Structure 1
Amino acid sequence: MKSDSSSYCFPNLLEAFFIVVVLNMVEYLMNSIIWSAGRSAGLQTMAIASIGRVLANGLVFTVLLHHGKLTYRSLLHDSVDSWRTTIGRFFVPIVLMTPALLVTMSVLEVGVGQFFPWTGTRDDAREVYVNGGLGLIVLTCAIAPLLEEMLFRGVMLRSFLRQYPEGTAIAHSAAVFGLAHLNVYQFALAFGLGLLIGKLYAATRSLLPGILIHACYNTAVVIVALKSPFVLTGESLLEIWPTSWWFGALVLGGVGAGWLVKAVDEQRMVSASTANDNA
């Protein structure tokens, strides 16, 4: 598919990488500001880092939003369907896909760990979220997906689709999203998730399906961490779940994936019909 326009748009790929550099500098600054207060409140290092990341994403996104003269409404949902219709169309297939996505990403992370052995201290996933408390869980499951999707898909991918062919734009945005996580393990997961979410955004011109996927995936990670303790980057769900569990997750994922494809096709038909009516 051709890009929407050959004219210059901000940001392009190089500028997006620069934004990631600025984002990490702002994140470092935020962590420095909140560190003492966080430790006094009993928060662990990862919880403080998560808060700093969310604050940095929110600040950088807000600056870019105003720079592009965009509104929150147009950024979130620039589709012919109402937001209620879009959520209703995509919610069930995304929920069905989530367990399979969790298993796949878990195996991928451990696979990456075979090529790039973890040299730091291994963190128990349950301990991370228990020590982080409810605040870290809310940040992980709700606030982070919203802010990250608005920045990486709403601002960056939206601009890329106007400058590059669709596949190239999606791959670029997924790579930038992965690099923003600053380690090879998270890069692999974020890149894979970014490809899926990017494809959905390109098809629907709405951030809502991507936010749903991101939030459902993060929520599933937290639930599994609390209910089935495992070592981050060290164990896959294939090792700690019974065979029937992960097999069932893959079956549900197949059903959800088929349903998701159908939902995307329905969305495209509605968009095409509306375009013909307006012609």
Structure 2
Amino acid sequence: MLGTEHKKIKQQKMAEISNEESYPNIRESWRVVGTIILFSILFIPIKMIFETTLGKELTSLIYYVLTMGITFLIIHRKRINRQETSNYDFGIGSIKIVLLLCFATAAILIGIKFPIISQIPIPDFIQKIFLDDGSSTGVYSFITIVIAAPILEELIFRGIILNGLLKSYSPLKSIIISSLLFGLVHLNPWQFIGASIGGILSGWVYFKTKKITLPIIIHMTNNSLAFIGQYFSSRNVNLTKSISSEYSLTELYGGTTNLIVILTIAITIALSSIYLLDKEFRKKKKNSYA
């Protein structure tokens, strides 16, 4: 009896030591965000110099990879020094899980993110920036938005930040904090909302599986849909104006009936996909102990 109690106390102390040593904690997570913002400012002169010779899209890709890539290398090294591990699980679980993630991501974008974001007023100068960025739909923009961003951002915010927070705090607290920080690093309220919502889904999936590939797939799906929207809106002036102006949500969805039907279907698909994902995660966890 005493031996069992002593063992529990020893395990608790070891867990506390592990929590203290885990990287990053909340304060260190804020520093990661600060590092990203700092590098994004420091590399602006390089971006301005090379934009005239390399073009806007290629320069933006290089600028992004430098900003996020160097940040990742720095915090990855800190993680190794603190925890003596550099492992990332790049498994996917199953094709069924991947498909459910794609359905959930698309449904959340259509049924939750877009309806909220579209109703937040956008100042004219911000709208101009978004429209200018949205006109970039070439190969380099595709690589930046659909490939580089999902990989680097998920490695940083789920693979390192959330992974570290989960060792020191509750899953709910860890997921919310990492998601809000992920939204914050986008530096504007419109992307903050979308990124935070997406971060919650990615965080939950990572917590359940510890597979970094799955949040990357979520992020790639979301950004692919956004890129497709950018591509078509950049070639359709009326569509661009309707998405970026003062149109009501009802008008954007083509009437009240369409709005209700689309949102109902999207939210139903999102909830159903998440429910089925949870079942899959529980099943795989059970099988791993069998």
TM-score (norm. length: structure 2): 0.78
What code does the residue aligned with 2:211 have?
Answer: S
- Bigger drift between 8-17 and 262-271 goes to 262-271
**Correspondence for 1:128 among 112, 133, 149:** 133
**Correspondence for 1:263 among 277, 283, 289:** 277
C-alpha change, 1:57 and 1:124, in structure 2 (3 Å) is closer
C-alpha change, 1:94 and 1:257, in structure 2 (3 Å) is farther
Structure 2: gaps (5+ residues): 1-13, 234-238
Identity of matched residues, %: 21
Structure 1 residue 181 corresponds to structure 2 residue 210:
no
What code does the residue aligned with 2:219 have?
Answer: H
Structure 1 residue 53 corresponds to structure 2 residue 64:
yes
Work out the CA distance in 1 between the residues paired with 2:192 and 2:116.
11
Work out the CA distance in 1 between the residues paired with 2:147 and 2:174.
26
Structure 1 residue 101 corresponds to structure 2 residue 108:
yes
Could you tell me how far 1:101 is from its partner in structure 2? 2.2
Work out the CA distance in 2 between the residues paired with 1:250 and 1:91.
23
C-alpha change, 1:200 and 1:49, in structure 2 (3 Å) is same
Work out the CA distance in 2 between the residues paired with 1:252 and 1:53.
32
**Correspondence for 1:110 among 108, 118, 122:** 118
Work out the CA distance in 2 between the residues paired with 1:160 and 1:247.
39
The structure showing larger relative contact order (alpha-carbon pairs under 8 Å, at least 6 residues apart) is 1
The answer on whether the counterparts of 1:106 and 1:236 sit within 8 Å (CA) in structure 2 is: no
Q: Rg larger in 1 or in 2?
A: 2
Structure 1 residue 30 corresponds to structure 2 residue 43:
yes
C-alpha change, 1:137 and 1:87, in structure 2 (3 Å) is farther
Work out the CA distance in 2 between the residues paired with 1:233 and 1:50.
25
Could you tell me which residue of structure 1 aligns to residue 240 of structure 2?
Answer: 230
The answer on whether the counterparts of 2:118 and 2:249 sit within 8 Å (CA) in structure 1 is: no
Could you tell me how far 1:20 is from its partner in structure 2? 0.9
Work out the CA distance in 2 between the residues paired with 1:217 and 1:237.
20
Q: How many residues align?
A: 260
RMSD: 2.8
Work out the CA distance in 2 between the residues paired with 1:135 and 1:189.
23
- Bigger drift between 184-193 and 49-58 goes to 49-58
What code does the residue aligned with 1:230 have?
Answer: T
Work out the CA distance in 2 between the residues paired with 1:128 and 1:19.
25
Structure 1 residue 210 corresponds to structure 2 residue 215:
yes
Could you tell me which residue of structure 2 aligns to residue 158 of structure 1?
Answer: 163
- Bigger drift between 158-167 and 259-268 goes to 259-268
The answer on whether the counterparts of 2:23 and 2:78 sit within 8 Å (CA) in structure 1 is: no
C-alpha change, 1:225 and 1:172, in structure 2 (3 Å) is same
Work out the CA distance in 1 between the residues paired with 2:174 and 2:114.
26
- Bigger drift between 157-166 and 256-265 goes to 256-265
Could you tell me how far 1:90 is from its partner in structure 2? 1.9
C-alpha change, 1:118 and 1:126, in structure 2 (3 Å) is closer
How big is each residue's C-alpha offset from its partner over 1:74-131, in whole Å with a ceiling of 9 and x where there is no partner?
3244xxxxx25x25132212222343222221222133x24xx525242386653443
Work out the CA distance in 2 between the residues paired with 1:241 and 1:190.
22
Work out the CA distance in 1 between the residues paired with 2:264 and 2:218.
16
Could you tell me which residue of structure 2 aligns to residue 17 of structure 1?
Answer: 30
What code does the residue aligned with 2:115 have?
Answer: V
More helix as a share of residues = 2
Describe how 1:238-253 pairs up with structure 2 within 5 A: 239-242=251-254, 244=258, 247-248=261-262, 251=265
- Bigger drift between 30-39 and 195-204 goes to 30-39
What code does the residue aligned with 1:33 have?
Answer: I
C-alpha change, 1:242 and 1:50, in structure 2 (3 Å) is farther
Instruction: Give secondary structure in 1 for the equivalent of 2:56.
Output: coil
Could you tell me which residue of structure 2 aligns to residue 80 of structure 1?
Answer: none
Instruction: Give secondary structure in 2 for the equivalent of 1:157.
Output: helix
